[in-house]
Structure 1
C-alpha cells in the first residue's frame, strides 16, 4: 500500500498493460449514474493507491467508460484528490514542460515527455454534478495523461524523435520471448 491512504471501500483491479486492446479503444460516455459507477470509482482509487500511481483511467482497469481518478500535487505542492466522469480536456496551454513521465500500464518505463504547464478538465462527478478541475505542473501533466487514456492513447503516443525511438526499442525488447 502506498504512503497515501484513503477511507474508500473498494477492490483493487488488475492494471491492463500495453498490448491490451482496451487501452487503445476510445472510452464511451457514462450514461447511467448508479452504485455500479460509484463502485468503479472506489475500485479505481484502491487500485491507484495499491499501485502507487498519481491517476488511473477506467480503461486501465478494464472498463470502457470515460472516468478517471487522481491524487497528485501541483507545482505549488497542493494536493488534489478526486475523480471526473465524462471528462473533456478544455485547455492544455502554457509552457511546454519536458519531464520524466511513466504509466502504470507500462511498468518500469519512464520517458521525457512534453506536456503543457496548465490544464483544465470539465465533466461531472458520480452523481452527475458539474466538475471543473484546473491544474498546473505535475497535476496538469496528470490531467492530460488521464484524458489521453480515455481517448485510447498512452503517453508514448505524444513522444517524438529520440525519446519515441527509445520507447519503441524498450517496448520491443520487453515483447521478445
Structure 2
C-alpha cells in the first residue's frame, strides 16, 4: 500500500467527469488499498480516485453518521439518488463541509439530508449504500468528485465569493498542485499554541 499526493483545486483531473471502471482486477484492488491508506494519512472521511490523479469512477469512505456509527467501504461506478436539496443559503452552524483537495478550508454547503449510492464493490458485485446527515453529505461529496465537481462549485453568495478569494490567496486554481498527507498530516487539525 502507498500514500499518494492529493490533487489541489485547479488540477484538470478534478474538474472533468471520470471514466467508468471496466476491469475488476488486482490493479483496482491495489488502487482501492492505496486510496484507503491515503485517506487515513490525511485524516479524511472520503476520497475519490481523481483526487489522487486517477481518472476512474471509484471512491472510498470511512465516515460516521449523525448517530456516531462508522461506515467504511468502497463504491465503484456509483450512481446517486438524494432527497431534495434545501433551497437558499445553507445553515452556517450545521452545514460546514471541507475537502482534501481544498486543504484546511471549509464552507457552509447545501446538501440533501438523505442519499443513496448504487454501484459495485471492488469485485464487481452490486452494492447499495444509503445514509442520512453527515454520511449522506459524504456520499454526495464523493460522487460529485467523480462527476468533476468540487464542493466549492455548490457554494452560494458570500461563501462562493470568499472561496474564490481563498483559492487566489493560496495560489491554487492551477494545474499540477498537490499536497502529500504522508508529510503534512491532517490539513484540518487545529493548531496548538
- Please give the TM-score of this superposition, normalised by the length of structure 1: 0.90
Partner residue of 1:116?
A: 112
Question: How big is the shift at 1:115?
Answer: 0.7
Q: Which residue of structure 1 lines up, in the alignment, with residue 162 of structure 2?
A: 166
Q: Of residues 26, 30, 41 in structure 1, which corresponds to 2:32?
A: 41
Structure 2 unpaired stretches of 5+:
173-193
Please, which runs of 5 or more residues in structure 1 have no aligned partner? Answer: 1-9
More strand by share: 1
Alpha-carbon offset, residue 95 of structure 1: 6.6
User: What residue in structure 2 maps to residue 31 of structure 1?
Assistant: 22
> CA RMSD for the aligned pairs?
1.3
After superposition, the C-alpha distances for 1:106-162 in whole angstroms (9 at most, x for unaligned) are 111110111111000000011100010001111000000000000011000011111
The Cα shift of 1:92 comes to: 1.3
Rounded to whole Å, the distance in 1 between the matches of 2:144 and 2:76 is 14
Higher relative contact order (CA closer than 8 Å, sequence separation 6+): 2
- 1:21 paired residue number: 12
**1:95–1:32 CA distance, 2 compared to 1 (3 A):** closer
Partner residue in 1 for 2:190: none
Q: Measure the CA separation in 2 of the matches of 1:92 and 1:167.
A: 25
Distance 1:130 1:115 in 2: 25
Report the equivalent of 1:106: 102
Number of equivalent positions:
166
Instruction: Classify the secondary structure of the residue corresponding to 1:84.
Output: strand
Q: Which of 145, 160, 166 pairs up with 2:141?
A: 145
Q: Choose which of 45, 48, 57 in structure 2 pairs with 1:54.
A: 45
Q: Which deviates the most, 32-41 or 166-175?
A: 166-175
Residue number in structure 2 paired with 1:81: 72
Whether the aligned pair in 1 keeps the contact of 2:82 and 2:116 (CA below 8 Å) is yes
Q: Which runs of 4+ in 1 moved over 4 A?
A: none
